[in-house]
Structure 1
Amino acid sequence: MTSFVKQFFLLSCFCLPCSLFAVGNADVLLRVGGKDVTKQEFELYCKHHLAGNCRTESVQNAFDDFLFQKLKSADMRRTGCDTLPAFRQYCKVMQGELLKTVMLDKEQEERACRDLYRQSVERLSKSGWVKMEQITCLLAQDATRQEENAARNRMDSIYTALKQGASFSAFSHQEEGGTWMPVVELLQEFTDQLASLAKGAFSKPFFSPLGIHIVKLTDSKPCISYEEARPYLIAYMDRLGAEHPALKRDVFARWTEGVLDDKNIQMRLETEEDALLASFWDKLHGESSPHEATSGELDNYFKQHKERYAWELPHFKGAVIRCSNKKMASRIKKYLKKSPSSQWAERLHKLAESDSTINTSIEVGLFQIGKNACVDKLAFKCGHLPEDKERPYAFLMGKKMKKGPEAYTDVLDAVKADYRREQEKEQLASLMQHFGVEIEQDVLKTVNCCGSN
C-alpha cells in the first residue's frame, strides 16, 4: 500500500516532460545511429557504476558496458518499445524519484522525519507495528466480473507457487522482509489476516477495496526504533505533496513555471531508461544471449586472468566479531573454528538464541583496508577501535590477503561481469555494425570518472 500511495504522489507532484530540461553543449564521446552521446553522460554512468575504482581497465570495461547498453536501448527504441504505456508510466515514476533529489532539502527532511517520529510514535504504536511483504493485484472499484476472475486466478496461481516453495519476494518485488507498518494505519482486511499469521507465514489470497492480496508476516513489535520507522515516515511525508516540510519552495516554483533546468537529472533519466530498455532487450534475446556461467567456467576464467584482479590495497578475509569479554571470545572461536566461514554467521546466531548470556554481533566478508575500523585496528594496526558498550571486546577470525584474491568467489561480481563481456563480444560487434557506431577516442581519453581534475 505504501508504494502505491508513494507512486501516486510522485506522479501527481514530481512529474514533468523531459523537454523542460536542456542539455548544454558538451563534448561528444560517441554516436550511435547518428545520435550524439556526451562525455558527461558517460562520466555520470561511471559515477554510479565504478564506485571509485578508476583504474584504466575499469574505465574501459565501464565504457564497453555503457556502449552495449546504448546499443541495446537503441535497438529497442527502433522497435517502438519506448512508446509502450507501461514503459512511459515507469519513466514517470522514475523521474519523480530523481526530482526529489533536486526539490527536497535532505537535512531538513531528516529533521522533519525525526520530529514526526517523536510526535507520532505513541499514536502509531497504539496497536503495535508489523513488518510484512505483500503481493497485490489492483482492481478498480467498478471492475467487471471478468477482470475480477482473471485477478483471482492470477493470485491463486501465485499462492500455489508459494506453497510449493517459490520465493515470496520474486512476486512481491519488494525488499526481502518487507517494511515496518503501524497496524493502526492498515486496512481492516490486512489486520484481520496478519492477526492470524505466525512469523514467516503467508495468507491465502484475500480481497480489500484496493484489490486482491497475499501478505507475509515477517515480524511484529509493540514499538520500533526511529531507524526502523524511517521508511514509513518518509513515505508519509511524500504523500503531503506541495506541503512537504522539506520542499525547496523556490525550486518547486520554478518547476511549476516550467523553467527548472538540471541537465544531470535529464542525463540520469536517459541512462535509467537505457538500462530498462537494455533489460528488455536481454529478455527478448534470451535464447541467443550468453548462458549463465557455471562455477567451473568462472573458476577457469579467473585462473586464466588472475593478474587482472590484483589489489592495490591489502584486504582481510573473514569475520569481525564483537562480544562481552575475552573469555566469551575464546568460547566463540572454539565453537566456529571447524565450520566454513560461510556458516559462521548462521551458527553464531543459533548459539546466541540457545544461550541468553551471549551478546554478540558478527560481520563476515572481504574487507579492504580503510573500509572497516575494527579490521583496520586489529588486522592492519592502524586507526582506532570503535567503542561498543554492550559488546566491548572485538576480535577477528580469518586472514590478511596482501597479494590479491585466492579464488574467483573473492571477486565474484568482477569475474562474472568480465566473463559476460567475453561472451557478448559477437552481439556487441553485430549491433555496432548495424548502428554505425563512431567513437571519439581523443574525447574518451579526457573522461574524468573519479570526479576530480
Structure 2
Amino acid sequence: MTRFIKRLFWLSCLFLPGSLLAAGSTEVLLRIGGKDITKQEFEFYCKHYAAENCRTESVRNTFDDFLFQKLKSADMRRTGCDTLPAFRQYCKVMQGELLKSVMLDKEQEEQICRDLYRQSVERLSKNGWVKIEQITIRLAQNATKQEEYAACNRMDSIYTALKQGAPFAAFSPLKEEDTWVPVVELLQEFTDRIASLSKGAFSEPFFSPLGIHIVKLTDTKPCISYEEARPYLMAYLDRLGAEHPALKRDVFARWTEGVLNDNGVQMRLETEEDALLASFWDQQHREASPREATPEELERYFKQNKNQYAWELPHFKGAVIRCVNKKMASRIKKYLKKLPVGQWNESLHKLMAADSTVSASIEVGLFQIGKNACVDKLAFKCGKLPENDKLPYVFLMGKKLKKGPEDYTDVYEVLRNDYRREQEKRLLASLMQHFNVEIEQDVLKTVNCCGSN
C-alpha cells in the first residue's frame, strides 16, 4: 500500500475539527501584496530549510532565496493553484504527517513496533513476505454496469500496453513504497494472483472488493528482519488513528479543542506549502528559470568579476604526494610532470597497478594555508610534517597562488552558484514588479540566523 494511502488512513482517523494557532506576533520583515511576513518566519526558514547555505552565504543571499520562494508561491496563488483539489489534498496529508510528529511519543512508538514484531513475526511470516506494485481502478460496491464496463476496457488497454513493454510505473500515478508486506495480510484476490507469479512478472486484470487491479510481484522472502518489517508495522499503527497507543492524549485533547499553540508546526506547514507552489512555478516557467552555465559562460563571468574572488589567505594548487623515499619521488615527478594536473591522480594509480614496486599516495586539489599540514610546511614554511611510517617521504607538485585563483576552475563551485544567483536575481526583479513588495531593511539587519549579519 502506498505511503499516500497510509497517510490518508491516518487523516481519516485523526482529523477532527481543530486548528493550529500562531503563538503571538513578531516583527514584520516584509510585505508582499499587503500580506505581512515576519522576521520569525525567515529565521525559521534559515534554521530548518537553509542551514547549509547559512554556513556559507550571507543573510542577504539567504533572504533573497526566501523572498524568491515567497514571490513564486504568491504568483501561483494569484492563478488559483493553491485551490486545486489535488494541491489541497497534498497539504492535508502533509499536515497529518506534521501533526504526528507533535502528537506521538516516538520512543514509545519504536518500542511498540519492536514488541509487535516479536509477538507477530511467526504469524506474519507463515506464508512469507512480498514486495508488490499495483495498478488499480477503484470501483464502488454499487458501481453501475457502465462504470464497470469502462473500467474493464481501460484496464485491458493498460494490460495490452504492459505486454508490449510499457513500464509499470507509467500507469501507477502513486509510486509504491519499497516495503515488505506479509502475504497473510493481503486480500485473498491478491494472494491468489501472486501465488502464480515469478519475480518481475505481473498478473492479468482481476477484481477485488476495492475495484479492478493488475499486480506485479517485485520480490519475495520467507521471513524479514525488524528493520525490513518496520514500515509495515508503522503503517499498521497509523491506521489505529486516535487509538494509537503512542498518542500523547493531552496534546491530542488540546488539538481537538482548538487550543494547540504550536507555531513551529504552523510555520512548517506554511513553508512546505510555499515550497510546493514554488516548484509548480518552476515547472511552468522552465524556459525562464536559471539553467546550468556552460564552461565558456563561467570562464567569461570569472574574467568579468575576478576581483570578487581574491583570497584573503594564500593557496597552493597541485598535489601532495607521499612515497617511500627520494628516489621514488624523482621517478613519480618525472612520470607526472608532462601530464595535466587533472590526470595526476588517475595516472599515479595506473602506474602503481602496473608496477608493484611503486607505493605512493596522492591528494590533488586547491589547499588553503592552514588546511593541510604538508602544504603548510613545504609550501608556506610553517608548522611541521606529520609522520607516516609506511610512506615517510612527502613532496609537492604545483604552485602557490598568493593573490587569488588563476582559472575559473579554481573556484568552480562558488562561481557556478554566483552565476546561477545572477540569473535568479533577474527573475526576482521581474517578479517583484508584479507585486507590491515592501522590505523592512532595519528589521532585516537584526536577523542573525545564519551566524553573521
TM-score normalised according to structure 2 size? 0.67
- What do the CA deviations read for 1:183-217 (whole angstroms, capped 9, x no partner)? 11111222233223332334444432223333332
Q: Is the 8 A contact 1:290 1:420 kept in 2?
A: no
Q: Which residue does the alignment assign to 1:333?
A: none
Please say if 1:447 is aligned against 2:444.
no
Q: Which residue does the alignment assign to 1:105?
A: 105
35-44 vs 132-141, which moves further: 132-141
3-state SS of paired residue (1:237): helix
Please say if 1:168 is aligned against 2:133.
no
3-state SS of paired residue (1:434): coil
Give the CA deviation at 1:303.
Answer: 9.4
Counterpart-to-counterpart distance in 2, 1:62 and 1:163 = 50
161-170 vs 259-268, which moves further: 161-170
3-state SS of paired residue (2:201): coil
1:357-368 pair list within 5 angstroms: none
1:273-352 pair list within 5 angstroms: 273-286=273-286, 288-290=287-289, 293=292, 297=294, 301=298
- What do the CA deviations read for 1:239-278 (whole angstroms, capped 9, x no partner)? 1112211110110111122211111111111112212222
Give the CA deviation at 1:72.
Answer: 1.7
Q: Which residue does the alignment assign to 1:241?
A: 241
The aligned amino acid for 2:446 is: T
User: Structure 1 residues 208, 101: closer, same or farther in 2, change over 3 A?
Assistant: same
Q: Which residue does the alignment assign to 1:427?
A: 427
Which structure 1 segments of 5+ residues have no match? Answer: 313-339, 342-381, 383-402
Counterpart-to-counterpart distance in 2, 1:153 and 1:447 = 60
1:131-210 pair list within 5 angstroms: 131-148=131-148, 151-152=151-152, 155=155, 160=161, 163-164=164-165, 166=167, 168=169, 171-174=172-175, 178-210=178-210
TM-score normalised according to structure 1 size? 0.67
User: Structure 1 residues 129, 419: closer, same or farther in 2, change over 3 A?
Assistant: farther
Q: Which residue does the alignment assign to 1:91?
A: 91
Q: Is the 8 A contact 1:200 1:216 kept in 2?
A: yes
User: Structure 1 residues 5, 174: closer, same or farther in 2, change over 3 A?
Assistant: closer
Q: Is the 8 A contact 1:14 1:100 kept in 2?
A: no
User: Structure 1 residues 448, 235: closer, same or farther in 2, change over 3 A?
Assistant: farther
Identity %: 71
The aligned amino acid for 2:211 is: G
Counterpart-to-counterpart distance in 1, 2:30 and 2:144 = 51
3-state SS of paired residue (2:180): strand
User: Structure 1 residues 268, 163: closer, same or farther in 2, change over 3 A?
Assistant: farther
3-state SS of paired residue (1:55): helix
CA RMSD of aligned residues (A): 4.0
Q: Which residue does the alignment assign to 1:345?
A: none
Counterpart-to-counterpart distance in 2, 1:446 and 1:154 = 60
Q: Is the 8 A contact 2:58 2:452 kept in 1?
A: no
Give the CA deviation at 1:437.
Answer: 1.4
User: Structure 1 residues 242, 299: closer, same or farther in 2, change over 3 A?
Assistant: farther
Q: Which residue does the alignment assign to 1:347?
A: none
User: Structure 1 residues 49, 164: closer, same or farther in 2, change over 3 A?
Assistant: farther
Q: Is the 8 A contact 1:136 1:172 kept in 2?
A: no
User: Structure 1 residues 58, 163: closer, same or farther in 2, change over 3 A?
Assistant: farther
The aligned amino acid for 1:289 is: A
The aligned amino acid for 1:240 is: L
Please say if 1:127 is aligned against 2:127.
yes
- What do the CA deviations read for 1:24-57 (whole angstroms, capped 9, x no partner)? 2112222111111122222322333334442352
Counterpart-to-counterpart distance in 2, 1:434 and 1:84 = 23
User: Structure 1 residues 298, 205: closer, same or farther in 2, change over 3 A?
Assistant: farther
Q: Is the 8 A contact 2:198 2:217 kept in 1?
A: yes
User: Structure 1 residues 4, 80: closer, same or farther in 2, change over 3 A?
Assistant: closer
3-state SS of paired residue (1:179): coil
Which structure 2 segments of 5+ residues have no match? Answer: 314-344, 347-385, 387-400
Counterpart-to-counterpart distance in 1, 2:166 and 2:189 = 25
Give the CA deviation at 1:105.
Answer: 0.5
Counterpart-to-counterpart distance in 2, 1:205 and 1:60 = 57
User: Structure 1 residues 51, 223: closer, same or farther in 2, change over 3 A?
Assistant: farther
49-58 vs 191-200, which moves further: 49-58
Q: Rg bigger for which structure?
A: 2
User: Structure 1 residues 155, 266: closer, same or farther in 2, change over 3 A?
Assistant: farther
User: Structure 1 residues 299, 230: closer, same or farther in 2, change over 3 A?
Assistant: farther
The aligned amino acid for 1:126 is: K
Q: Is the 8 A contact 1:30 1:439 kept in 2?
A: yes
Counterpart-to-counterpart distance in 2, 1:152 and 1:285 = 38
Give the CA deviation at 1:238.
Answer: 0.8
- What do the CA deviations read for 1:301-344 (whole angstroms, capped 9, x no partner)? 49966998x9x9xxxxxxxxxxxxxxxxxxxxxxxxxxx99xxx
The aligned amino acid for 1:283 is: Q
Q: Is the 8 A contact 1:134 1:172 kept in 2?
A: no
User: Structure 1 residues 38, 133: closer, same or farther in 2, change over 3 A?
Assistant: farther
- What do the CA deviations read for 1:396-446 (whole angstroms, capped 9, x no partner)? xxxxxxx99x999x999x998766544444432222111121222333343
Q: How many residues align?
A: 357
Give the CA deviation at 1:19.
Answer: 4.9
